[in-house]
Amino acid sequence: MDITKIKNKFKELYGAEGAVYTSPGRINLIGEHTDYNGGFVLPGAIDKAIYCVIKPNGTAKVRAYAPDENPEKVSLNNEFGLEEADKPKDRWAQYIFGVCREMTKKCAKIPGFDIVISGEVPLGAGMSSSAALESCVGFALNDTFNLGFDRFQLALIGQATEHNYVGVKCGIMDQFASCFGKEGSLIRLDCRSLEYEYFPFDPKGYRLVLINTCVAHMLGGEYNERRESCERVVAAIAVKHPKVRFLRDANLDMLKEVSDKVSAVDYIRAEFVIEEIQRLLDTCELLKEGDYEAAGRKMYETHTGLSLKYTVSCPELDFLNEKAKEYGVAGSRVMGGGFGGCTINLVKEDKYDQFIQQTTEAYEKTFNIKPLVYDVVIKDGARKL
């Protein structure tokens, strides 16, 4: 990212120099559909980030500019006040406004400021560009105006922004990874207690790469349907085991006890979640041992479960996963909610070129879609530059 370019743009627009902040996108190595089941996730911040230049402007308004936005679709310049009635119409500006409002609700005093935002987190690729934006703005405001929020509070502010000003009822993982990212480490986040622990991730001789199917089959009610499946199973198990509040609290023996009380579909979905939670814990131990081949096999197990048990894959994702196996990739799986998006792949360097070239060519020939490839490296979270 050319920081000089956005610094110069800021000076051109506002006649002064501002401070520069950044916050990254994220990947999740393993642990899908475990968050709303009280389980664990294993994200890491990446080397693709959102950047902003900011400076107080002595008024009660925000002047914002986003040079990456398409001027045919959205107004690049945006000026708005900081009261609830001042919510801007442009979606990208709503993230800035929402962060300000959520901070104000927590008794922070935020005067007017000028801000220029740019980034390199691909939109719609499952790397959480929105959480990176919220975390970048939140960290910048917190530091600029000495608001006193800690990183955990900033993550919650970003999540509340999504809920209340963007209309997305997301979990905490994306904002947490963006705020707490640490170079060379993944974060095991307990989605029930919000406790976290760093695990080493420095796979020398391997590369971490995402391949974007460039398809997005609409999830619609499918996500809610799976969540309801899990809740029905928890309710059945809790009749005999009242301490079970999430599938994270259950085990496979408890699940077997209710096999005649839940549908076959609910049963197999719950089975995947219970297995996935344990698979993530096992993967953390493998990372401590530096056994990336075994960790990669866990990724394949996750993909199989997501495809056959939780049924959130699609032909395009399964195709990429099969190609990864064919070319000897250590680990590969669908990353995110499913029904499109990316596969995340752990690839030995000596297999990388052949895998990428032949897989992308075969994918384009099969689906008439050119996939996008993103190499990622685990980096630090939100910070001032």
Domain boundary among 149, 184, 202: 202
Whether residues 147 and 237 share a domain: the answer is no
Whether residues 184 and 40 share a domain: the answer is yes
Examine residue 177 and state whether it is found in any structural domain, yes or no: yes
Whether residues 253 and 329 share a domain: the answer is yes
Whether residues 185 and 291 share a domain: the answer is no
CATH number of the domain bearing residue 99: 3.30.230.10
Question: Which DSSP symbol is given to 244?
Answer: -
CATH number of the domain bearing residue 281: 3.30.70.890
Examine residue 125 and state whether it is found in any structural domain, yes or no: yes
Examine residue 382 and state whether it is found in any structural domain, yes or no: no
Structure confidence at residue 217 as a pLDDT band (50, 70, 90): low
Least confident interval from 63-67, 92-96, 140-144, 218-222: 218-222
pLDDT at 315 over 50: yes
Supply the DSSP string of 9-57, one letter for each residue: HHHHHHSS--EEEEEEEEEESS--S-GGGT-EE-EEEEEEEEEEEEEE-
Cα distance from N-terminal residue to C-terminal residue, the chain:
13
Give strand pairing partners of 56.
Answer: 113
CA pair distance 185, 43, nearest whole angstrom: 9
Structure confidence at residue 73 as a pLDDT band (50, 70, 90): very low
Q: Which residues contact 65 (CB under 8 A, 6 or more apart)?
A: 9, 10, 13, 76, 77, 78, 115, 116, 117
Examine residue 163 and state whether it is found in any structural domain, yes or no: yes
Greater pLDDT, 218 or 356: 356
Contact criterion met (CB below 8 Å) for 207 and 349: yes
Domain boundary among 152, 177, 202: 202
Q: Which residues contact 358 (CB under 8 A, 6 or more apart)?
A: 323, 327
Whether residues 226 and 122 share a domain: the answer is no
Task: Print burial letters for 306-339: b (CB count within 10 Å at least 16), e (below 16).
Answer: bbebbbbbbebbbbbbebbeebebbbbbbbbbbb
pTM: 0.90
Q: Name the CA radius of gyration of the chain, rounded.
A: 22
Least confident interval from 83-87, 286-290, 337-341: 337-341
Percent of the chain having pLDDT more than 70?
Answer: 96
What's the mean pLDDT in 219-228?
A: 79
pLDDT at 216 over 80: no
Whether residues 367 and 237 share a domain: the answer is yes
Q: Which two tokens stand for residue 149?
A: 């929020």
Q: How far is CA 174 from CA 24, 208, 270, in A?
A: 10, 18, 24
pLDDT of amino acid 22:
98
Question: Which DSSP symbol is given to 84?
Answer: G
CA pair distance 238, 67, nearest whole angstrom: 53
CA pair distance 34, 156, nearest whole angstrom: 19
Percent of the chain having pLDDT more than 90?
Answer: 85
Average pLDDT taken over every residue of the chain: 93
User: CA 247, 252, 258, 261: dihedral to nearest 10 degrees?
Assistant: 70
Whether residues 216 and 189 share a domain: the answer is no
Structure confidence at residue 228 as a pLDDT band (50, 70, 90): very high
Examine residue 385 and state whether it is found in any structural domain, yes or no: no
CA pair distance 12, 14, nearest whole angstrom: 6
Structure confidence at residue 219 as a pLDDT band (50, 70, 90): low
Give strand pairing partners of 119.
Answer: 50
Examine residue 88 and state whether it is found in any structural domain, yes or no: yes
Whether residues 83 and 138 share a domain: the answer is yes
Residue 133 belongs to domain spanning = 3-202
Structure confidence at residue 358 as a pLDDT band (50, 70, 90): very high
CA angle, 354 as apex, 351 and 355 as ends, to 5°? 75
Whether residues 235 and 304 share a domain: the answer is yes
Structure confidence at residue 111 as a pLDDT band (50, 70, 90): very high
Examine residue 323 and state whether it is found in any structural domain, yes or no: yes
Examine residue 352 and state whether it is found in any structural domain, yes or no: yes
Whether residues 301 and 329 share a domain: the answer is yes
Whether residues 151 and 227 share a domain: the answer is no
pLDDT of amino acid 224:
81
CA pair distance 75, 243, nearest whole angstrom: 52
Question: Which DSSP symbol is given to 328?
Answer: T
What's the mean pLDDT in 216-230?
A: 79
Amino acid at 155: A
Domain boundary among 148, 183, 202: 202
Catalytic residues: 174
Domain count across the chain: 2
Q: Which residues contact 72 (CB under 8 A, 6 or more apart)?
A: none
What's the mean pLDDT in 162-168?
A: 89
Whether residues 198 and 211 share a domain: the answer is no
